[in-house]
Amino acid sequence: MTPALAIEATALTKRYDDATAVDDLDLAIPEGTVYGFLGPNGAGKTTTMQMLTTLTRPTSGTASVAGRPIADREAVVPHIGYLPEEPPLFEELTGREQLQYVAGLRDLPKREAAARIDELFDRFDLADAAEKRIGAYSKGMKQKAGIIQAILHEPEVVFLDEPTSGLDPRAARTVRETIAHLAAEETTVFLSTHILPVVDELADTVGVLSNGSLVTEGSPDALKRRAETGEHRTLEDVFLEVTSEVDYPEGEVA
Amino acid sequence: MSREPAGLDGRTRRTFPRVSNSVRIARVELVRQWRRTRDQRAVQLVALAFVVLFLLVFTVAAGGGAYFAGLAVARGRLSAPLTGAQYVAATAAVFVFFVTAFRTLSQNGRIDHADGMLTTVPHRDVVGGLLLRESAVLFGMAGPPAVAAAVGFAVGSGSPLALVLVLLAALDVLVTSLLAGFVVGLAVKNLLARSAFVARHRVALGALVFLTYMWLVVSNTLGTVVQPLVATFRASPLAWEADLALFGVVGSAAASRAVASVVTTFVVAPVLVALAVWLAGLLWYADPAEGGTTSTRSDSATSGLGLGVAGAFDGLVARPTAQVAVKSWLRARRAPIKLAFVAYPLFVLIQPISETVQTGRVSPVLPPMLAFYGAWATGAAFTLNPLGDEGAVLPTTLTTGVSGRQFVGGLQLAGVVAGAPATAALTFVAALLSPLSLVEAVGMTVAAAVLCVGATGVAVGVGTAFPRFDAARITRSREAVVPSLIGFGVYSVAMGLVGLPGLATQVSAVVDALARIANVAPAAVSLGGIVLTTVVLGLVAWPSVRYAARTFERYEL
């Protein structure tokens, strides 16, 4: 029996005026997968994530996340966590206040939420900064707080937009371990990043988006194997090759 | 880059800005400013059009005034033309000096992307660029009236030479006072940046300065502060500019003083530029004083308080609603600058407060004004930009599953719990001290509380319809997301229309007139006004809240 799909998209398309951000995108991502979503700047990765997280309505096409249609925000959002490229945090609040705020919005049981916040602060080495204002956090600390916020409610599908960018090696490792940990717990992780070693290490499946279309998809190993020659390539070679012939028209939207 | 040597130590090559770079910087800054203005919504362009219109009127007035002054001078009908010209020069100088000092202090004493600029050109070139930009703005505003005045005076007095001399004198006055204002602005900025005490108590000190200023205005004593300044300017070499402007037209204008005025500008201006370069170097390379904006101290105590406050709503409202309210309070308390815009319309209170101060009696218009302003502020504080206020957090807020009603209700709660009691209390006390009767006082207090609640409802819908997401520069180069100008306007007009019957019918004169016309008891008129406002408020606020909640739930990025 094939496992159920965590993310399923059919002919997903998003157009802005005359620019096409995402063009006829099909996705079928099984539960528990770590999906590495690659693509050059402006390829449409963020737009895809915003559609899948119900934040942007597609121009045409359909998709469902955790079995719920993305047109139904109320049904989808309890099951997803989203970390946009800019961590969604209030600089004036402390880390703990921020997480309590979001836990309150989600109406998570108080005691359990408090315990989970403590546990996540410990795991991400942020316990000392819990009572400090986010405005005083370093970039890495903000990124970690954003990840905690995205996984606080133990969602089934987590969307992470560049979660390791700007992190020092230790913080980046914590994030990688967290993704591995989530995958081990059968959480589906939709991971958009430019940092290819992260994808190489963690992803079960890699999809490369270029100019709004999926140009290649497969496991990292399969992509790296070149069938004709047997020559071994890096993921970087694959990325450069499949995205090389693309001309970007002006006004392309990310 | 190492700190530049400054001061007039003979190395003038290293003291003064390079003209080419300064021009380049000023040009880019002006282009950016123009494009920002052009890209704004229509309302900002309308505001700009008003400025241009005002400028035109002022130019015509300056030209006409100067023409008649020239006519009068030429016919010997002015008793002390030199003194008059000195007053004109001194007033213009004081005005330009203060405006420039304030602009420098609040935002123009720095450049955007300072790190990049200061690692590209010497900081003196940046100073030169900022000064040229200020000059361009100043000459754009003051140039046309000055030219019109020069032409008018030359024609009126029949002296072609006056055209050149008046322009030269105006140039002297503007340049000197602009440079002096820039230097003083930078000096004060240095004090602020270096004093830990000031950094820590900035908000309180700012409020003190503001209140002092307001007090000078309402108690009508601002003039007594400005007059000595004008007198000082008149006693300075600046007064010689009058001799320059009137030379050849007025017999008492001395050639020696006219020449001295030009020489003085040529001596003073470079000194002021050097001072500005030196002060800017101190400021831009200074370590910020402790206790500034990015507090690193622990907030556990306040966080505990926040939770305590959230607990106060337990069982009364849903938890997400309470959380939204508490979050709004915490953010406002930690960054009060976000609410600074609420103080903008305080000027409507100047007249009644000033009357109260000067007569020692509370004016009967003060209580309704307080009620109205309090309600306006209650609605504006947390509810006038519900979506934009969330900033980068908006994607998370939208995907937490919090309902639109809960989100909007939380914002309303934040405003009402803080604003309604304060507004009602202030209104009641003012009404008791005023000639209004007790019944009127109670009626107005009720109206104030109702208005506060309704205001948040009106505001939340208007703010949702006209959101603003980009940060606006408020002051001291601080940025915050404030409501859009259209939102401000629509909300204020709506509140004015809705609140009018309830507040107007609390004033005896209005009540008596209406009672006579309708042939009913005055109390019935007062009550009717409150009922009418309440009903209309409900009719406006209810759909407004529903619209805001629905829009939030369906909102797309």
Per-residue pLDDT, averaged over B545-553, amounts to 95
| Number of domains comprising chain A | 1
Token digits for A78?
A: 């309890």
Torsions phi, psi for A80 (to 5 deg): -125, 155
- What residue of B is the nearest CA neighbor of A104? B320
pLDDT of residue B311: 60
> Is position A10 within any domain?
yes
Q: Is residue A104 part of a domain?
A: no
Task: Tell me if B545 sits within 8 A of B454, measured CB to CB.
Answer: no
**H helix count then E strand count, chain A:** 9, 10
Q: Which residues contact A208 (CB under 8 A, 6 or more apart)?
A: A38, A39, A214, A215, A216, A217, A238, A239, A242, A243
Mutation site for A-interface testing, chosen from B203, B290, B298, B299 by largest number of A Cβ within 10 Å: B299
3-state secondary structure of A6: strand
From chain B, the residues in CB contact with A94 under 8 A are 299-300, 303
Asked if the C-beta of A48 comes within 8 angstroms of chain B's C-beta atoms, the answer is no
d(CA A179, CA A167): 15
Does A10 score more than 70 pLDDT?
yes
Is residue B388 within 8 A of residue B306, CB to CB? The reply is no
Contact residues on chain A for B307, CB-CB shorter than 8 A: 100
Q: Is residue A109 assigned to a domain?
A: no
Give the CATH number of the domain where residue A34 resides: 3.40.50.300
**For residue A73, pLDDT beyond 70:** yes
> In Å, how far is A57's CA from the nearest CA of chain B?
7
Sign of CA pseudo-dihedral B36, B40, B44, B50: positive
Q: Identify the pLDDT of residue B155.
A: 93
CA terminus-to-terminus distance, chain A: 37
- The minimum CA-CA distance between A148 and chain B, rounded to whole Å, is 12
Q: How many Å apart are CA B456 and CA B445, to the nearest integer?
A: 17
Return the pLDDT at B176: 93
Is A220 part of a structural domain of the chain?
A: yes
CA–CA distance, B316 with B320 (Å, rounded to integer): 12
Q: Which of A101, A142, A160, A253 to probe the B interface (max B CBs under 10 A)?
A: A101
**B142 vs B178: CA distance, rounded Å:** 12
**Bigger pLDDT: B88 vs B180:** B180
Average pLDDT for A84-98: 90
CB contact under 8 A, B399 and A55: yes
| A-interface mutation test, from B295, B313, B314, B396, most A Cβ less than 10 A away | B396
CA distance B407 to B412: 9
A90·B331 Cβ contact <8 A: yes
CA distance to partner chain A, nearest, from residue B397 (Å): 8
Q: Does residue A195 belong to any structural domain of this protein?
A: yes
Question: With an 8 Å Cβ cutoff, are B396 and A102 in contact?
Answer: yes
What does each C-alpha distance from B104 to A149, B18, B195 come to in angstroms?
A: 41, 21, 18
Q: Give one DSSP letter per residue of B354-401, joined into a string.
A: HHHHHHSS--TTHHHHHHHHHHHHHHHHHHS-TTGGGGGGHHHHHTTT
- B468-497 pLDDT, tens digit each: 887 654 444 445 677 777 888 899 899 988
Q: Is the pLDDT at B163 greater than 70, yes or no?
A: yes
Q: Write out the residue range of the structural domain in which residue A15 sits.
A: 5-89+159-242
| pLDDT above 90 (res B249) | no
Beta strands in B61-216 (DSSP E): none
Residues of chain B with pLDDT > 70, as a percent, come to: 88
Q: Which of A37-46, B46-55, B311-320 has the highest mean pLDDT?
A: A37-46
The answer to whether B326 and B312 have CB atoms below 8 angstroms apart is no
C-alpha A142/C-alpha A140 separation (Å) is 5
ipTM over the 0.85 cut-off: no
Note whether residue A143 is domain-resident.
no
| Residue A251 included in any domain | no
Nearest residue of B to residue A82, measured between CA atoms? B396
**Which chain B residue has its CA at the smallest distance from A74's CA?**
B401
CA nearest to B439, candidates B524, B370, B360 = B524
Structure token pair of residue A220: 């990292």
Strand partners, A38: A208
Pairing of strands A205-210, A213-218: antiparallel
| pTM of model > 0.80 | no
Report the candidate in B98, B373, B343 with the shortest Cα–Cα distance to residue B222. B98
- Cβ–Cβ pairs < 8 A, chains A and B: 110
The H or E element spanning position B301 is: helix B300-312
Contacts of A50 in chain B (CB under 8 A): 395, 557
What pLDDT is recorded for position B467?
Answer: 86
Q: Could you tell me the pLDDT band of residue A174, with boundaries at 50, 70 and 90?
A: confident
Q: Which two tokens stand for residue A82?
A: 């989203």
Interfacial A residues in 93-152 facing B (CB < 8 Å): 93-94, 96-97, 100-102, 104-107, 131-133, 135-136, 149
Per the CB < 8 Å rule, is B293 touching A135?
yes
Cα torsion B231, B232, B233, B239 to 10°: value is 80
Q: Is residue A61 part of a domain?
A: yes
Query: Region B331-335: what's the mean pLDDT?
Result: 84
- Please check the confidence at residue B223 and state whether its pLDDT lies above 80: no
CA atoms of B258 and B273, how far apart (whole Å):
23
Tally Cβ neighbours within 10 Å of residue A5.
18
CB within 8 Å: B296 and A73: no
